[in-house]
Amino acid sequence: MLPRGWLNYLFGNRGERLAAQTLKGKGYVILARNCRNRCGEIDIIARDGDTIVFVEVKTRSEHTEGRPEEAVTRTKQRQITRAASAWLQQHKLHQHRCRFDVVAIVWRTGEKPIVDHIQSAFEATG
């Protein structure tokens, strides 16, 4: 038997892999996945042309908890913004243009996933 929460982790990881494939298919270059620093975690960091894109991935099996993108709350946006700023400083890219995208995935059992890539989903906050 798997530890509690492990299935959610595996499901989320599967969604992040699909999101990375989707972004690559659009010509993005994946720079990092599951990037953690002292300020938090960023699911995917990619480059779209000359723009660095910080991507939050939300995967759901149903809409019972609302649409996946609704889980990217103001609090989560602030955490992603802080983590992105720390990443930019660490890589000496603070002067680069960047944006924050969300990839929302609904993946029902036995069905093809529905992927919604929301560019510029939110502005830097905090």
pLDDT tens digits for range 35-92:
999 889 999 999 999 999 999 999 888 766 788 999 999 999 999 999 999 999 999 9
pLDDT of residue 111: 87
pLDDT of residue 6: 46
Q: What is the pTM of this model?
A: 0.89
Does position 24 have pLDDT exceeding 90, yes or no? yes
- Residue 75 token pair: 């609090």
Q: How would DSSP label each residue in 18-65?
A: HHHHHHHHTT-EEEEEEEEETTEEEEEEEEETTEEEEEEEEEESSSTT
- Residue 12 token pair: 């989320």
Q: Whole-angstrom Cα distance, residue 72 to residue 97?
A: 22
pLDDT of residue 5: 60
Contacts 24+ apart (CB under 8 A), 115-121: 115/18, 115/19, 115/22, 116/68, 116/69, 117/19, 117/22, 117/23, 117/26, 118/69, 121/56, 121/69, 121/72
Map out the domains of the chain with their CATH numbers.
6-122 (3.40.1350.10)
